[in-house]
Amino acid sequence: MPERFSADFSPPLADSGPESPAFEREVLDELIYLHAGVLMRMPWVQLLLATGVVLLVYRTVPAACWGAWAVLTVGAEYLRARHAGKILKQDTLDSPESAHRLLILLAAGVGATVGLGALLFMPHISLPNQALLVIILFAMPAAGVSVAVSSPQILAAYSLLILVPTALSWALRYPEQILTVAGLTTLYWWFIISVAGDGEQLLRRSVAIRRQRDRMLRDLERRNAEVRAAVAKAEQSSQTRARVLAAASHDLRQPLHALSVYSAVLVANPAADSLPEVARNIDKLVRNLGGLLHGLLDLSRLSADQYVPDLQRISLDRLAAEVCNEYEVQVRDKQLALIRNLQHVRLHDDAVAIGRILRNLLDNAIKYTDSGQVTVTTYSSGDRAVLTVEDTGKGIPEDEQGRIFEEFYQLDNPGRDQGRGVGLGLAIVQRLCELIGAEISLTSRAGVGSQFKLTFRSLAVAAACRPAIPVDDEACLRGKRIYIVDDEADILRAMSLLLSSWQVRVETAASSSHVNLLFEQAGKPDLLIVDLRLGDGEQGVGMASRLQQAHGDFPVLVVTGETSPDAVRLVAGEGYRLLQKPIIADELYATLCSALGV
């Protein structure tokens, strides 16, 4: 049994809260229904008893007297049974307390009619018959213990009104025994009431056990539902993975096959005039492959929850304007108009994620629009910020609108020509939206155009806003001193070139001895970029924390090609930022700005 179930097997009364109103009500309900069930048989029992008593007294007692008594006792018991029948017909009791009170009164009434027999008959019957009558009347409260189920109150009312008149009528006839009779009657009464009290405890315990069992059943059902949902989710994700894998292997195999054909052409020493065409085609294939690989890596990274949104105060309109600028050439080439309808909106959100979402949507809008315009709009509505990308392109048929967010799902590309996209853009958009908590909706009509609408809940309070982080303002890194540690010379060279182009003062180191020397000679940097796995067996994270201990605190950015959660945990454990390879330049730029707080 798993440990987390253990709490449900605690002793029944321990957490059933005997004093809780719900528990008390359930005990009372149970008692009333059980008592009512027994009462249904009582008129017959009473009839037998009355007959027995009548046989004892009819010779010496006037017929009207014993007749009236018999009718009274059986009639009172019959009325009690009728009331019990009404209770049993109700599924729930409106007020169990008042039903219980009424049952106590009815028990008192029935007890009184029986006890009346002692007062009426004792003066008229012989001593043996008196003794027999007293025995019968004293036995009735003992039987009443089981009739009253476990209600000491019902039993007390019933028994007192039988025992007191019986003991009284004996004491009146034999005054010398008054103390003995009073003492024995009290002792007897106390005994039957305490037996009823024990019965009540038993009832409370069984109700508590039943509640415990019901709770465990509910808990088990809930857990079962959770397990079923988890299994369904796992099955769905394994189906998605299989579908993605099948599509990816097809899409990877095609260009690889074409590349092997072109390499065979090159090996065969082709005519010089065919070389430019071969080179162009190889270039196109390599670009397509790169795009596909990038998309797949992005998707796996987003799906593995390895993307931690980096929340900053950003200006949505400014971010949108910057992304639109990147598409000027593409728009001009297709002779489309790119309309910016940008109202000032400030957000507290992830600039990199929103930039990537917008790039994917804008890319599609331009790709699937042959004439007319593409409009990017930003505005705020209530406490929400809205970004829309609208085009006058070919539109998306209604029955396809749900499916285009699936991985590798494309319309009008049966040959899977990768020049027309790989079908991962919108899947990435959707994952990013889930990660940053944005809602995405689509309105589209085939032949008319499409509108993708993003709604963000992270509207920043205007007064609290700092100026938006200038995502592509190259001046923001100017003059910063950044050290890069990587054991691969090509990466060191490329990163150094890229950072230098942002006017960063870059120093590079390929090994731990080299980086130690660098820190000793030049001091600590404004930021350290370090590869997670370094060639000499040292880990980037360990090296960074060692250097921080020796030279004081500085921000650290870890880069890695690993996608395992362990790697993410290792880096997050030290509080360092993480970027996964292949690194996109603007993502690197935004991360550096954010890490340096500029």
Binding site residues, ligand ADP, CB under 6 A:
364-365, 368, 391, 393-396, 404, 409-413, 421-427, 450
- Residue 236 CB, shortest distance to ligand ADP, in Å, is 19
Whose Cβ is closer to ligand ADP: residue 61's or residue 299's?
Answer: 299
Task: Output the smallest distance, CB 594 to ligand ADP, in A.
Answer: 27
Measure the N-to-C terminal CA separation of the chain; round to a whole number of Å.
54
Minimum Å gap between C-beta 583 and ligand ADP is: 22
Which C-beta is closer to ligand ADP: that of 179 or that of 245? 245
Tokens describing residue 244? 């993605």
Which residue lies nearer to ligand ADP by CB, 107 or 302? 302
Tracing tokens 């980086």 back to the chain, one arrives at 515
Nearer to ligand ADP, 422 or 541 (CB): 422
What does the chain come to in residues? 598
Contact 393, 449 (CB under 8 A): yes
Output the smallest distance, CB 259 to ligand ADP, in A: 21
Shortest reach from residue 390's CB to ligand ADP, in Å? 9
Q: HEC string of 317-351?
A: HHHHHHHHHHCHHHHHHCCCEEEEEECCCEEEEEH
- Give the separation between CA 203 and CA 30, rounded to whole angstroms: 8
Neighbours of 139 (CB within 10 A): 12
Q: Considering beta carbons, is residue 402 or 561 the nearer one to ligand ADP? A: 402
Round to whole Å and give the CA distance between 502 and 474.
Answer: 6
Strand partners, 340: 376
In the complex, the smallest distance separating the C-beta of residue 522 from ligand ADP, rounded to whole angstroms, is: 46
> What CA–CA distance (Å, rounded) separates 178 from 190?
18
| H helix runs in 40-126, sequence order | 42-57, 63-89, 96-121
Residue by residue, what is the 3-state secondary structure of 17-58? CCCCHHHHHHHHHHHHHHHHHHHCCHHHHHHHHHHHHHHHHC
CB of residue 349 to ligand ADP, shortest distance in Å: 22
**Cα separation values, 420 from 45, 280, 411, 428, Å:** 93, 17, 10, 17
Pairing of strands 384-391, 449-456: antiparallel
| Cα(283)–Cα(295) distance, integer angstroms | 18
Question: Which one, of 85, 89, 76, 152, lies nearest residue 115 by Cα?
Answer: 76
CB closer to ligand ADP out of 391 and 507: 391
d(CA 204, CA 213): 14
Nearer to ligand ADP, 167 or 248 (CB): 248
Shorter beta-carbon distance to ligand ADP: residue 73 or 375 = 375
Q: Residue of minimal CB distance from ligand ADP?
A: 421
Q: Which residues contact 122 (CB under 8 A, 6 or more apart)?
A: 130, 133, 169, 170, 172, 173
Q: Which is nearer to ligand ADP, 111 or 425 (CB)?
A: 425
Peptide bond into 582 cis (omega under 30): yes
Give the nearer residue to ligand ADP in terms of CB position, either 333 or 553: 333
Shortest separation between residue 388's beta carbon and ligand ADP, angstroms: 12
Q: Shortest distance, CB of residue 318 to ligand ADP, whole angstroms?
A: 24
Q: How far is the CB of 404 from ligand ADP (least distance, A)?
A: 4
